[in-house]
Amino acid sequence: MAKLLSCVLGPRLYKIYRERDSERAPASVPETPTAVTAPHSSSWDTYYQPRALEKHADSILALASVFWSISYYSSPFAFFYLYRKGYLSLSKVVPFSHYAGTLLLLLAGVACLRGIGRWTNPQYRQFITILEATHRNQSSENKRQLANYNFDFRSWPVDFHWEEPSSRKESRGGPSRRGVALLRPEPLHRGTADTLLNRVKKLPCQITSYLVAHTLGRRMLYPGSVYLLQKALMPVLLQGQARLVEECNGRRAKLLACDGNEIDTMFVDRRGTAEPQGQKLVICCEGNAGFYEVGCVSTPLEAGYSVLGWNHPGFAGSTGVPFPQNEANAMDVVVQFAIHRLGFQPQDIIIYAWSIGGFTGGLVTRTVRQHLNLNNAEQLCRYQGPVLLIRRTKDEIITTTVPEDIMSNRGNDLLLKLLQHRYPRVMAEEGLQVVRQWLEASSQLEEASIYSRWEVEEDWCLSVLRSYQAEHGPDFPWSVGEDMNADGRRQLALFLARKHLHNFEATHCTPLPAQNFQMPWHL
């Protein structure tokens, strides 16, 4: 009876992965008494085959879930319509509540029928036994066997906690439950007094901004968090996970961030291969509609690096909503997981991020700045390590006019702010002007022409920068170029711009080829 209840309340099972021979533990020597024997790929098909009862019940519940999602998104319009028609009176609401209660009872009965269908299926009973054993005892053997299944990630046990003693539970300066200290509110404009009268005047706009950000705004900025889109992409995501697990020997893990969100990750370890770049870990940060299952992880994987992919809060297996503070908390626990559980040194970790999304307009500008401000340039300037920006010359998403107008590409602003922060004396009037000319070049031939016009001597630039670093240390900002003439600043500015930004002739969603995945330049 207990097993039947577990089948009724258990998660949906999608797939049984092919088990690699190298991962199988000797069956005669189980690691713990709670370990159970996993099925071999020779006995069962890798795709989970539900019985007819479970299959049809699952279809009904999935359809009900889609209708509920549509009802949720359209509820403001529905309530407005019902109010105008007079259907929100007590005499009309009571019968409706009876219909709703009857529908819920019917759905509960369908869920019980699905549980019976699962209980009669030996594949599902084997899976639920392994899942329960892993929740009781997270031994390496139980977790290895559980990794052979792809199921609803909400039931996956937590593999890494942000407060683990091995990470930062007792360290000073770590994140609190309020989140990582990466973001700060927008400062007041100079001369603006935050009086009670000003607060009252701004209150309607602030309320409107909050409502927009927490309803349409968040879903427009991060369309990947929309349930209906995830439902439509589910077959593709399952196929991508299967490829990472079966072909790349990927290991899935659930991380618990300081805000309580659970982050879905996939790790591919290449440290045991002959390729030297396998000792480096690339943490892939997907775009606003991207998932690690089908995202930018393919580029560093093809180039031979170890890779750690993760999904934004609210994307696929990750919980929560993708607001900036939640994003910062998620990234924090991912990096801590890479250092303290996977064993990578900070200097061997590379962050590879794709896209940020963009908005225009008056109310949207206020909403994004107050509630959805990603502060990309501000956060990048706080980073002291090497950086490489890849500008897509035909990008149709982060250009503010048309893709052909390369000067409207927001990657230009990111480069200029980074260089102005790190080398403020070099990026004075002459340096800023010549870098803008270089960014405006629409082809490699034009870039080379500008570079040669100013006769940039790379050996001289390197010697100047290395001499400054040896004398003053590596921490930015640098005052190099303070006593330099205008021609010297132009040469140095062009040299630095070329080292920090590479062009890639492609549109926004074109995957980056492995040969274009290069390490950032550093002295």
- CB atoms under 10 Å from CB of 343, counted, come to 11
Nearest to 241 by CA among 16, 479, 519: 16
Is 472 designated active site?
Answer: yes
Report CA torsion sign: 458, 462, 465, 467.
negative
Q: Which of 225, 298, 306, 355 is catalytic?
A: 355
Nearest to 254 by CA among 354, 143, 348: 143
Element (H, E) at 466: helix 458-472
Per-residue tokens: 502: 């590479």
Tell me the H-state helices in 387-457: 410-422, 429-439, 444-453
Is 355 designated active site?
Answer: yes
Amino acid occupying residue 258: C
Distance CA 406, CA 348 (A): 33
Q: Is 244 helix (H, G, I), strand (E, B) or coil?
A: helix
The CA-based angle 170-171-175, given to 5 degrees, is: 100
Tell me the H-state helices in 303-371: 324-340, 362-371
Element (H, E) at 263: strand 262-268
- CB atoms under 10 Å from CB of 80, counted, come to 10
Q: Which of 167, 318, 395, 500 is catalytic?
A: 395
3-state secondary structure 82-114: HHHHCCCCHHHHHHHHHHHHHHHHHHHHHHHHH
DSSP letter (8 states) at residue 385: S
Distance CA 130, CA 107 (A): 27
Distance CA 33, CA 35 (A): 6
Distance, first Cα to last Cα, the chain:
67
- CB atoms under 10 Å from CB of 498, counted, come to 17
**Per-residue exposure over 473-491, b if at least 16 CB sit within 10 Å of its own CB, e if not:** eeeeebebbeebeeebbbb
Amino acid occupying residue 4: L
How many C-alpha atoms does 513 have within 13 Å on its Cβ side? 6
- CB atoms under 10 Å from CB of 509, counted, come to 14
Q: Which of 472, 479, 487, 522 is catalytic?
A: 472
Is 413 designated active site?
Answer: no
Nearest to 31 by CA among 148, 128, 145: 145
Nearest to 288 by CA among 394, 372, 382: 372
Per DSSP bridges, beta strands 281-285 and 306-310 are parallel
**Residues known to be catalytic:** 355, 395, 472
